[in-house]
């Protein structure tokens, strides 16, 4: 028997787990809800492993059932989708387990696990889909689950509007996805990804149609992966429970856009303009989001902006044509960002809901496991050598530097932007770590004394993720040191024809030195501002206009409020006026005239029976006369 | 045989008397009586035409006479209900003057 198909069952298991929790959840003991989720995700992970073990190197297509002519519901199992499934189910498993501890005692527990597992089901459909249409089903599915889980504590007005914001902003990207599908079908006559991807390189290089398709998919990806200017929903999405932020808004869903572009790699590699747009959007997102992260005060918002920034890195990677590098960064980022989110969840849990880093500090001594693992995550994302983030980020920088695809579109400028972003990344992550875990506490002594490490059900996932945050990078070492396992694994599905200029080993060392220096400068700056000089200088910068700009996310929300919300209000206000003054007034006029005539006629209703009788006789007589006269005249 | 025209004249005369009664009388009972008169004016005409057609040998002749019975039945029903209402009104206000019964109006 061919075991490679096993993974096709995984989405259905997750769906079943979600339904059981959703339908029967109220009647079950709270502990069982989480158990169902963890067992189902564990099973899905095992199935993914079985498929992985049985994988023969050839992409496999599993047709589930016929849907439309020539468009069955089918899964494509190849190296790329398998890797994504492994990431999703593994991180999903850890987060399911962690949630048992984190969400303990919440009255909406079955609803939570139902949403979480439905999300995993939809995400699996998304990555396994073999056609754009099925991919879109998963795409919308994860969007709905994201909405449901951001607004999980829906009784708070802010949470509900954050959920709506995420949904509406994503909708803009989804319009791009739909238009892209229409255009794809018109151009290629099919929505099957494999066919489209084979046919795309046969078209004229840089063809306008391909570019339009590419840009529309890029719009969709920008919505889902929170890229400029559609990134505004992600910081607000932190209103959801922290494990949700870790799974959906850091490790998996937001990487769907990167996955989509990597899936359609040949299409993008064939249109340098579209690729350039992707790369530049990514680079600008990376640096603006990193800047916005510098002065945030919320423990999770720093990580949210950091996620946007890292997604920007991934966009640059797919823009340069280094699709496997982007997926490599998805892979490493999934571990260290999930770790960082779960660590902050552990802190929030221990402090009873406190999220302001201004009221933390010194927690590393009270929460040894959380503090240590968070430090590993911080160093990994900052790009400290020998940790996973260093390898993937360095790979992105290298490929930006050497990309042939972007040679006319400023790849050195992109490289410079990424380098500056790397400095900022190291700085804001140091600030995040030190303000939460390091130094003296800024909490009340009594509260500080009560802080305890989280239960093992939460710390064990942290430890596992910390280990992976260290070792995951060794799968993608620079080629001149060791074979890049992940490159070889992803070579087939992301083969695109994009080429890279060969550079000498010395240059590669120089680039590595540059990114190590960037990390060192960032961390050093953080150390200087917060450890060496008691934070008063940092406060002064934070209070300056620059700090305010950072805290407000460079004003995108304000701009959108002016450009979209206010103008929509103005337009609808005008339409309301039109409705009131013309439509309503016209209707009222008709009603008034009818009433007037009615008032006149009603006077005949006098109540005098004999008057009625007289009227009747007069009428009948008149009719008889008419009939007679008509007879006479005829 | 008495010519049909005579009956029609009789019928018309009865009808006009009835109509005049309905319009001029104020007592509900007398109005009722006048309505009965009008109905029976109709009956006379029906019976007269039926007789004319049957003597002419037409098969449909009897339909006129059947119509008379239907009218009689309706008149009886009407009287039953009408008199009932009248009795109720009389009990309520010790009069059957219709001009006083003008509460039901706009």
Alpha-carbon distance A608 to nearest alpha carbon in chain B (angstroms) = 5
pLDDT at residue number B17: 94
Average confidence (pLDDT) over A427-434? 90
- Quick check: A603 contacting B, CB < 8 Å? yes
Does B12 have pLDDT greater than 90?
Answer: yes
Q: Where would I find the beta strands (DSSP E) of A476-619? A: none
Tell me the two tokens of residue A35. Answer: 């158990």
Tens digit of each residue's pLDDT (9 = 90 or more) over A306-361: 999 999 999 999 988 888 889 999 999 999 999 999 999 988 888 888 888 888 87
In a domain, residue A55? The reply is no
Interchain pair B98, A602: CB under 8 A: no
As for how many domains chain A has, the answer is 3
* Distance between B56 CA and the closest CA of chain A, angstroms: 26
Q: Please indicate, yes or no, if residue A22 is contained in any of the structural domains.
A: no
Q: C-alpha distances in angstroms, B77 versus A84, B35, B46?
A: 89, 13, 20
Is A316:A286 a contact under the CB 8 Å cutoff?
A: yes
Nearest to A610 among B23, B103, B105 (CB): B23
A334 and A212 in one domain? yes
Mean of the pLDDT values across residues A505-534? 86
pLDDT at A437 over 70: yes
- Domain extent for A620: 604-634
Cβ–Cβ of B99/A607 closer than 8 Å?
no
The answer to whether residues A575 and A461 belong to one domain is no
Report residue A397: phi and psi, to 5°: -60, -45
B57 found inside a domain: yes
CB of A617 less than 8 A from some CB of B: yes
Question: Do residues A507 and A582 share a domain?
Answer: no
CA-based nearest distance A584→chain B, Å: 29
Q: What is the pLDDT of residue A587?
A: 92
**Which of B12, B20, B23 has the highest number of chain A CBs within 10 A, making it the mutation to test binding with A?**
B23
CB contacts, 8 Å: A613 with chain B: 22-23
Return the pLDDT at A178. Answer: 93
Asked if A618 reaches chain B (Cβ–Cβ under 8 Å), the answer is no
Look at residue B61 in the predicted model and tell me its pLDDT. 62
Distance from CA of A595 to the nearest CA of B (A): 14
Number of domains making up chain B: 1
Residue A365 has pLDDT above 80, yes or no: yes
Least confidently predicted of A53-62, B49-58, B97-106: B97-106
Helix A272-293 to helix A411-437 angle (10° resolution) is 30
Q: Mind listing the pLDDT tens digit for each residue in A567-614?
A: 889 999 999 999 988 999 999 999 999 999 998 888 888 878 888 888
Alpha-carbon distance of A420 to B105, in angstroms, equals 89
Half-sphere exposure of A457 (CA within 13 A, CB side): 16
Is residue A112, in this structure, part of any structural domain at all?
no
Q: Is residue A59 part of a domain?
A: no
Residue B105 domain flag: no
Over residues A475-500, the mean pLDDT reads 79
Q: What are phi and psi of B27, to 5 degrees?
A: -80, 130
Q: Which of A551, A583, A618 is the last residue of a domain?
A: A551
Check B105 against A613: CB less than 8 A apart: no
B104 CB neighbours in chain A (<8 A) are 607
- Has residue A495 got a pLDDT over 90? no
- With an 8 Å Cβ cutoff, is A57 touching chain B? no
Residues A296 and A427 placed together within one structural domain of the fold = yes
Name which of A348, A352, A342 is nearest A374 in CA terms. A342
B104 to chain A, closest Cα gap in Å: 5
Mean local confidence (pLDDT), A487-511: 81
> Are A283 and A320 in contact, with CB atoms under 8 Å apart?
no
Average pLDDT (A490-506) is: 80
pLDDT, tens only, A156-199: 888 888 889 899 889 989 999 999 999 999 888 888 888 888 88
Same domain assignment for residues A449 and A360: yes
Residue B40 lies in a domain: yes
Mean pLDDT calculated for residue range A241-258: 88
A608 vs B: CB within 8 A: yes
Closest A-chain CA to B23: A610
Residue from the list B19, B23, B102 with its beta carbon closest to the beta carbon of A607: B102
CA pair distance A281, A173, nearest whole angstrom: 14
Residue A429 pLDDT exceeds 70: yes
**Run of H or E including A80:** helix A79-102
Helix (H, G, I), strand (E, B) or coil at A63: strand
The pLDDT > 70 percentage for chain A reads: 100
From the list A607, A613, A617, which residue is nearest B105 (CB)? A607
For chain B, say whether A590 makes contact (Cβ under 8 Å).
no
pLDDT of A1 strictly over 60: no
pLDDT in tens, A217-233: 999 999 898 888 888 88
Q: Return the DSSP state at A478.
A: -
Residues A560 and A427 in one domain: no
In a shared domain, residues A530 and A626: no
Write the pLDDT tens digit of every residue in A77-115: 888 888 999 999 999 999 999 988 888 888 888 888 899
Overall pTM > 0.95: no
Mean pLDDT confidence for A537-560: 81
What's the length of chain B? Answer: 106
Q: How far is CA A109 from CA A96, A246, A352, in A?
A: 12, 18, 18
Task: State the DSSP string of A97-164.
Answer: HHHHHHTTT-TTHHHHHHHHHHHHHHHHHHHHBSBHHHHHHHHHHHHHHHHHHHTSSTTSHHHHHHHH
pLDDT at B2: 85
Is pLDDT above 70 for A411?
A: yes
Establish, for the pair of chains A and B, how many residue pairs have beta carbons separated by less than 8 Å.
28
Residues 6+ apart with CB under 8 A from B47: B7, B64, B65, B68
- At A66, phi and psi to the nearest 5? -80, 140
Tell whether A43 is covered by a domain: no
Least CB-CB distance to A609: which of B19, B98, B106? B98
Same domain for A588 and A460: no
Measured between CB atoms, which of A603, A607, A613 is closest to B22?
A: A613
Taking the C-alpha atoms of residue A18 and residue A141, their distance in angstroms, rounded to an integer, is 13
Question: CA-nearest residue of chain A to B16?
Answer: A617
Tens-digit pLDDT profile for residues B34-51: 999 999 999 999 999 888
Q: What is the per-residue pLDDT for A446?
A: 81
Nearest CA in chain A to B26: A610
pLDDT tens for B59-103 read: 666 788 889 999 999 999 998 999 998 899 889 888 888 888 777
> Average model confidence (pLDDT) for chain A?
87
Respond yes or no on whether the N-terminal peptide bond of residue A621 is cis (omega within 30° of 0): no
**Which one, of A370, A341, A381, lies nearest residue A473 by Cα?**
A381
Say whether A607 and B26 touch across the interface (CB within 8 A). Answer: no
Question: Which residue of A604, A607, A624 is the best one to mutate when testing the B interface, meaning the one whose CB has the most B CBs within 10 A?
Answer: A607
Taking CB atoms and an 8 Å cutoff, what residues of chain A touch B101?
607, 609
In a domain, B106, yes or no: no
pLDDT above 90 for A540: no
Same domain for A166 and A204, yes or no, is yes
B22 vs A contacts (CB less than 8 Å): 610, 613
Distance from CA of A592 to the nearest CA of B (A): 19
How many angstroms away from the CA of A594 is the closest CA of chain B? 17
Are residues A412 and A277 part of one domain? yes
| Chain A nearest C-alpha distance from B96 (Å) | 12
The per-residue pLDDT for B106 is 65
Predicted pLDDT at A488: 80
- Select the residue of A605, A609, A613 nearest B106 (Cβ to Cβ): A605
- Please state, for a pLDDT cut of 90, what percent of chain A lies above it: 27
Whether A600 contacts chain B with CB within 8 A: no
> What are the chain A neighbours of B106 within 8 Å (beta carbons)?
602-603, 605-606
Cβ–Cβ below 8 Å for A610 and B98: yes
CATH number assigned to the domain comprising residue B93: 1.10.287.3510
Domain boundary among A551, A579, A614: A551
> What is the distance in angstroms between the Cα of B12 and the nearest Cα belonging to chain A?
14
Q: What is the 3-state secondary structure (H, E, C) of A315-333?
A: HHHHHHCCHHHHHHHHHHH
Residues A513 and A444 in one domain: yes
Sequence-distant (6+) residues with CB within 8 A of A634 are none
Q: Are residues A361 and A319 in the same domain?
A: yes
- Determine contact: A596 vs chain B, CB below 8 A: no
Residue B41 lies in domain: 4-100
Q: How far apart are CA A374 and CA A245, in angstroms?
A: 16
A607 touches chain B (CB under 8 A): yes
When pLDDT is averaged across residues A415-430 and rounded to a whole number, the result is 90
Interchain CB distance below 8 Å, B102 and A606: yes
| DSSP H helical ranges for A356-455 | 363-366, 368-382, 388-402, 411-437, 445-450
């Amino acid at each position: 028997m061919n075991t490679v198909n096993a993974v096709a069952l995984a989405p259905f298991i997750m769906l079943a787990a979600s339904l059981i929790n959703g339908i029967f959840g109220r009647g079950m003991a709270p502990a069982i809800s989480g158990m169902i989720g963890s067992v189902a995700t564990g099973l899905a992970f095992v199935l993914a492993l079985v498929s992985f073990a049985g994988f023969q190197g050839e992409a496999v297509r599993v047709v589930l059932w016929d849907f439309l002519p020539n468009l069955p519901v089918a899964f494509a199992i190849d190296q790329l989708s398998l890797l994504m499934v492994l990431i999703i189910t593994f991180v999903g498993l850890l987060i399911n387990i962690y949630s048992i501890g984190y969400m303990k005692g919440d009255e909406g527990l079955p609803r939570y696990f139902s949403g979480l597992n439905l999300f995993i089901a939809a995400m699996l459909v998304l990555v396994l889909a073999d056609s754009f249409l099925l991919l879109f089903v998963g795409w919308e599915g994860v969007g709905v689950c994201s909405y449901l889980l951001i607004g999980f504590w829906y009784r708070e007005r802010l949470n509900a509007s954050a959920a709506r914001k995420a949904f509406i902003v994503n909708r803009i990207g989804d319009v791009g996805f739909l238009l892209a599908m229409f255009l794809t079908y018109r151009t290629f006559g099919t929505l099957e990804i494999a066919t489209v991807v084979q046919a795309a390189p046969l078209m004229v290089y840089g063809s306008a149609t391909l570019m339009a398709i590419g840009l529309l998919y890029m719009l969709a990806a920008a919505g889902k992966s929170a890229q400029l200017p559609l990134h505004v929903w992600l910081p607000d999405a932190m209103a959801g429970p922290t494990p949700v932020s870790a799974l959906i808004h850091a490790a998996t869903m937001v990487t769907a856009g990167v996955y989509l572009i990597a899936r359609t790699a040949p299409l993008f590699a064939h249109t340098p303009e579209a690729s350039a747009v992707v790369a530049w959007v990514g680079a600008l997102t990376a640096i603006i989001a990193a800047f916005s992260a510098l002065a945030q005060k919320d423990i999770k918002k720093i990580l949210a902006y950091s996620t946007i920034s890292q997604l920007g890195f991934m966009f640059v990677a797919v823009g340069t044509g280094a699709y496997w590098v982007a997926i490599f960064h998805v892979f490493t980022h999934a571990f260290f960002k999930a770790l960082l989110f779960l660590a902050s969840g552990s802190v929030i849990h221990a402090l009873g809901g406190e999220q302001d880093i201004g009221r933390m500090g010194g927690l590393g001594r009270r929460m040894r496991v959380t503090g240590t693992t968070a430090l590993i995550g911080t160093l990994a994302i900052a790009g400290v050598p020998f940790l996973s983030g260093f390898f993937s980020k360095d790979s992105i920088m290298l490929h930006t530097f050497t990309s042939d695809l972007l040679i006319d579109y400023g790849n050195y400028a992109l490289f410079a932007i990424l380098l500056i972003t790397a400095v900022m990344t190291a700085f804001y992550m140091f600030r995040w770590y030190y303000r939460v875990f390091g130094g003296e506490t800024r909490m009340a002594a009594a509260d500080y004394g009560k802080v305890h490490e989280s239960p093992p059900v939460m710390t064990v996932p942290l430890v596992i993720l910390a280990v992976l945050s260290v070792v995951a990078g060794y799968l993608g070492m620079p080629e001149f040191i060791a074979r890049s396992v992940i490159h070889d694994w992803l070579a087939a599905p992301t083969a695109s024809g994009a080429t890279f200029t060969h550079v000498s080993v010395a240059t590669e060392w120089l680039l590595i030195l540059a990114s190590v220096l960037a990390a060192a400068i960032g961390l050093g700056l953080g150390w200087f501002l917060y450890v060496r000089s008691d934070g008063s200088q940092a406060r002064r910068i934070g209070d300056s206009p620059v700090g305010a700009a950072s805290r407000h996310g460079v004003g995108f929300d304000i701009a959108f409020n002016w450009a979209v919300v206010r103008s929509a209000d103005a337009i609808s206000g005008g339409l309301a006026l039109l409705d009131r003054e013309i439509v309503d007034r016209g209707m009222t006029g008709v009603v008034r005239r009818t009433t007037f005539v009615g008032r006149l006629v009603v006077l005949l209703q006098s109540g005098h029976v004999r008057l009625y009788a007289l009227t009747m006789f007069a009428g009948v007589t008149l009719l008889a006369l008419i009939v007679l006269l008509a007879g006479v005249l005829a | 045989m008495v010519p049909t025209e005579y009956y029609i004249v009789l019928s018309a005369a009865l009808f006009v008397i009835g109509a005049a009664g309905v319009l001029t009388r104020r007592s509900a009972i007398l109005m009722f009586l006048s309505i009965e008169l009008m109905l029976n004016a109709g009956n006379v005409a029906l019976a007269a035409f039926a007789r004319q057609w049957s003597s002419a040998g037409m098969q449909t002749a009897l339909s006129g006479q059947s119509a008379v019975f239907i009218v009689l039945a309706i008149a009886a029903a009407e009287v039953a209900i009408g008199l009932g209402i009248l009795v109720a009104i009389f009990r309520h206000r010790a009069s059957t003057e219709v001009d006083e019964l003008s509460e039901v109006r706009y």
